[in-house]
């Protein structure tokens, strides 16, 4: 039904697409996988009319497909859910869904009708959001769900989802997969990008694998295995995804006592010891990020204390936290983790300027040296240290964020969804990095919505539900369903 042939696309020096192929059939869910920077998003954006191909052709129902603008693409029946959700903070959720196509009665926008239709869509998705609410302040997950409602409302022939589940917790992801199946059964073709192979195998009928902008393989799911797909992606055998290095928990470094912020979290008490990786699990919206934000000093809290090495950490002062060896890799790399227009060097240097100063003046050379050093350590794919990070692919951006914080040589590293949108290979590296450092005495507090990751990495698992700590499980005790039970509110069998 839709085919992409020999697609080529260059950004300055970088060849984002270099002979990509894609063939979509009616009524199928088509997986698109590949490492960070393989060119998945770029390929999808050409379908969406965001990018124009340098060469190559796209046909839609045997006719050449004109994707010269997002509007054209949409009118042709292609709906896209982008990797980075993009809503309108000041508009109501209902209007966010229908923006540009608001339902009309007698030539005027039909507000009541719009609200009703939005409610219907949300119900279909099982989203509990008030259509009248402004989008400002929505969590990433909530934003993602609104984006999906938007795509649904178009009832398009081709629906493209670029890592829609990256920000979703297991249960929400499951709900999404349901929706995808329903769309397929309606006869739509769904393109599904994900770094979680288990999802791809659970959902997709066929899969296309990309590497370095090329399509390296296309197979029916039935006829292949995750191992094989990974080999195609990486071009080599991949070693253990969770290279957990056993490490001895040292003395307690972080202690949180009865921390509370009305409406967001209640009496949170826990500890993290040197050399220990503690995972903070829970459904999206359970307030995990809010907790670590409060610990690091981004948000204030009403009561409770945070102790580092036994002595209290002042509230709402990230600098103090940094000085005490605390680092936070935030959940949202584009808004919180990076200065998108700034260079790789600037980004990775900004938190360690003090160390880069000579006679009180910041030395650009030291800055670049440090950045290059980290770029190599994390196998970063970049065109140059002076290139703005907005040019990097999602995964590579995440690497820069990590580099930036590891450069502070922290004693306590707090990571919020550290591998969101990161490919298997890089994931493995991040995991190795974390556990190696833990082994060398680093205390790690990790928020993750990926249970395999939690189980693979954590020495202890804390589970949050609706702003409360509801369970603490040792590595031995922790299992998928125990965590899910706790997170969803059933009693925990101990």
Partner 1 sequence: MSRLLTWDKILPVLLVLTLVVGTSLDPRFGRGNNLAFVVADIGEIMLIAFAMTLVIMTGEIDLSVASIAALTSCVLGWLVRHGVPIGLAVVLGVAAGVLCGAVNGFLITALGLPSLAVTIGTLALFRGLCWALLGDEPVASYPESWTRLGSGRFPHTYIPYVAPVLIAGAIVFTVLLHFTRSGRWIVAIGQSAEAATFAGIPVARVKTSLFLLSGFMSALAGVVYTLRFASSRPDGAVGYELLVIAAVLFGGVSIFGGAGTMWGVVSAVLFLGALRSLLLLEKVPPNALNIITGGLLLVSVIVPAAVTALQRRRKPTRNKESSCDPDSSARSPQRLPSSSR
Partner 2 sequence: MTTTREFPVGLALVVVLVGTTLANNRFLSAQGRVDLMVAVAITALMAVGQTFVIVMKHVDLSVGSTLGLSAYFAAIAVRGTEGGGVFTVLLVGLVVGVAVGVLNGALVAVLRLPALVVTLGTLYVIKGIQAVLIGPRRISVDQLPDAVVDFGRSTVLGVPYLMWMCLLAGLAGGWFLRTQRAGRDLYAIGSNTPAARLVGIPVWRREILAFVVSGATAGLAGALYLARFGGVDANAGSGYELPVVAACVVGGVAITGGVGTVLGALLGAALLKTIGVSLSALSVPEFWQQAVNGALLLLAIAVDKVINDRRTRQVTVLQEVRV
Ligand X SMILES: Nc1ncnc2c1ncn2[C@@H]1O[C@H](COP(=O)(O)OP(=O)(O)OP(=O)(O)O)[C@@H](O)[C@H]1O
Binding residues for partner 2, rule: CB under 8 A, are 48, 50, 69-72, 74, 80, 82, 86-92, 95, 99-102, 104, 107-109, 128-130, 132-134, 136-138, 142, 263-264, 466
**Measured distance CA(412)–CA(322) in Å, rounded:** 10
Q: Which of 318, 369, 441, 452 binds partner 1 (CB under 8 A)?
A: 318
* Residues binding Mg ion: number (CB under 5 A): 5
Min dist CB 89 to partner 2, Å, is 6
Q: How many residues comprise the chain?
A: 494
Q: Are 239 and 428 in contact (CB under 8 A)?
A: yes
Which of the residues 357 through 396 are near ligand X (CB under 6 A)? Answer: 381, 391-395
Q: Which of 144, 165, 247, 289 binds Mg ion (CB under 5 A)?
A: 289
Min dist CB 102 to partner 2, Å, is 6
Write the DSSP symbol of residue 158.
Answer: E
Q: Among residues 103 and 452, whose Cβ is nearest to ligand X?
A: 452
Min dist CB 90 to partner 2, Å, is 3
Binds 456: which of ligand X, partner 2, partner 1, none (CB < 5-8 Å by kind): none
Which of the residues 394 through 413 are near Mg ion (CB under 5 A)? Answer: 394
The yes or no reply on residue 348 touching Mg ion (CB under 5 A) is no
Min dist CB 128 to partner 2, Å, is 5
**Measured distance CA(27)–CA(190) in Å, rounded:** 8
CA dihedral (98, 158, 44, 224) in degrees, to 10, reads: 140
Q: Which of 31, 34, 275, 456 binds ligand X (CB under 6 A)?
A: 34
Which of the residues 366 through 425 are near partner 1 (CB under 8 A)? Answer: 386, 390-391, 394, 404
Nearest partner of 300 among 259, 266, 333, 253, judged by Cα: 259
The yes or no reply on residue 451 touching ligand X (CB under 6 A) is no
Min dist CB 446 to partner 1, Å, is 17
Min dist CB 23 to partner 1, Å, is 24
Find all residues with CB under 8 Å of 437, minimum gap 6, and list them. 406, 413, 444
* Residues binding partner 1: number (CB under 8 A): 59
**Measured distance CA(324)–CA(309) in Å, rounded:** 9
- x/- contact string, 81-110, with ligand X (CB under 6 A)? --x---------------------------
CB atoms < 10 A from the CB of 312, how many? 11
**Measured distance CA(441)–CA(248) in Å, rounded:** 8
**Measured distance CA(342)–CA(444) in Å, rounded:** 28
Min dist CB 116 to ligand X, Å, is 24
Token pair for residue 145? 């769900």
Find all residues with CB under 8 Å of 46, minimum gap 6, and list them. 4, 7, 9, 17, 52, 53, 58, 67
Q: Among residues 136 and 362, whose Cβ is nearest to partner 2?
A: 136
**Measured distance CA(406)–CA(465) in Å, rounded:** 30
Q: Among residues 73 and 345, whose Cβ is nearest to Mg ion?
A: 73
**Measured distance CA(272)–CA(293) in Å, rounded:** 16
Q: Among residues 135 and 487, whose Cβ is nearest to partner 1?
A: 135
Min dist CB 391 to partner 1, Å, is 7
Q: Are 160 and 191 in contact (CB under 8 A)?
A: yes
Nearest partner of 159 among 346, 246, 30, judged by Cα: 30
Q: Which of 7, 18, 20, 40 binds ligand X (CB under 6 A)?
A: 40
Token pair for residue 468? 């409360």
CB atoms < 10 A from the CB of 137, how many? 8
* Cα 470 to Cα 270, 286, 303, 321, 487, distances in angstroms: 11, 11, 19, 27, 8
Min dist CB 335 to Mg ion, Å, is 12
The residues that bridge with 90 in the sheet, in sequence order, are none
C-alpha atoms less than 13 angstroms from C-alpha of 472 in its C-beta half-sphere? 8
The yes or no reply on residue 89 touching partner 1 (CB under 8 A) is yes
Applying CB under 8 A, the residues found at the interface with partner 1 are 10-12, 41, 45, 50-52, 54, 70, 82-87, 89-90, 134-140, 143, 298, 318-319, 321-322, 328, 330-332, 334-342, 346, 349-351, 353-354, 357, 360-362, 386, 390-391, 394, 404
Applying CB under 5 A, the residues found at the interface with Mg ion are 41, 83, 289, 331, 394
Applying CB under 6 A, the residues found at the interface with ligand X are 11, 14, 16, 34, 36-42, 83, 137, 139-142, 264, 282, 284-290, 331, 381, 391-395, 416-417, 421, 423, 447, 449
């Amino acid at each position: 039904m839709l085919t992409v042939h020999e697609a080529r696309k260059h950004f300055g020096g970088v060849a984002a697409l270099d002979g990509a192929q894609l063939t979509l059939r009616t009524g199928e869910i088509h997986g698109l996988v590949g490492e960070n920077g393989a060119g998945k998003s770029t390929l999808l954006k050409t379908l969406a009319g965001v990018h124009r191909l340098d060469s190559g052709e796209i046909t839609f129902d045997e006719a050449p497909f004109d994707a010269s603008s997002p509007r054209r693409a949409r009118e042709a029946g292609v709906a896209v859910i982008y990797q980075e959700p993009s809503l309108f903070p000041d508009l109501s959720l209902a209007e966010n869904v229908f923006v540009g196509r608001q339902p009309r009665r007698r030539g005027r926008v039909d507000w009541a009708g719009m609200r009703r239709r939005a409610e219907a869509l949300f119900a279909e998705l099982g989203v509990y959001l008030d259509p009248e609410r402004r989008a400002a302040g929505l969590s990433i997950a909530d934003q993602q769900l609104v984006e999906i409602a938007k795509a649904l409302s178009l009832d398009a022939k081709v629906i493209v989802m670029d890592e829609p589940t990256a920000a979703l917790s297991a249960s929400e992801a499951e709900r999404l997969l349901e929706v995808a199946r329903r769309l397929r059964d309606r006869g739509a073709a769904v393109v599904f990008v994900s770094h979680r192979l288990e999802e791809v195998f659970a959902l997709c009928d066929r899969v296309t694998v990309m590497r370095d902008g090329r399509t390296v393989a296309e197979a029916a799911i039935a006829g292949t295995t995750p191992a094989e797909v990974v080999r195609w992606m990486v071009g080599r055998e991949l070693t253990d995804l969770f290279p957990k290095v056993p490490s001895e928990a040292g003395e307690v470094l972080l202690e949180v006592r009865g921390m509370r912020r009305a409406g967001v979290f209640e009496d949170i008490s826990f500890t993290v010891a040197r050399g220990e990786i503690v995972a903070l699990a829970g459904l999206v919206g359970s307030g995990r990020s809010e907790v670590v934000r409060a610990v690091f000093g981004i948000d204030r809290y009403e009561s409770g204390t945070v102790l580092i090495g036994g002595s209290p950490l002042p509230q709402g002062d990230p600098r103090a936290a940094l000085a005490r060896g605390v680092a936070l890799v935030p959940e949202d790399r584009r808004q919180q983790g990076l200065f998108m227009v700034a260079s790789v060097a600037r980004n990775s240097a900004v938190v360690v300027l003090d160390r880069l100063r000579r006679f009180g003046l910041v030395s650009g050379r030291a800055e670049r040296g440090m950045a290059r050093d980290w770029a190599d350590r994390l196998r970063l794919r970049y065109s140059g240290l002076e290139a703005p990070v907005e040019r990097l692919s999602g995964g590579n951006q995440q690497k820069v964020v990590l580099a930036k914080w590891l450069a502070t040589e922290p004693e306590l590293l707090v990571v919020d969804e550290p591998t969101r949108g990161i490919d298997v290979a890089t994931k493995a590296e991040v995991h190795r990095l974390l556990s190696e450092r833990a082994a060398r005495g680093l205390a790690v507090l990790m928020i993750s919505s990926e249970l395999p990751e939690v189980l693979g990495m954590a020495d202890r698992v804390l589970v949050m539900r609706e702003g409360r700590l509801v369970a603490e499980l040792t590595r031995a005790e922790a299992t998928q369903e125990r965590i899910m039970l706790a997170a969803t509110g059933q009693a925990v069998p101990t």
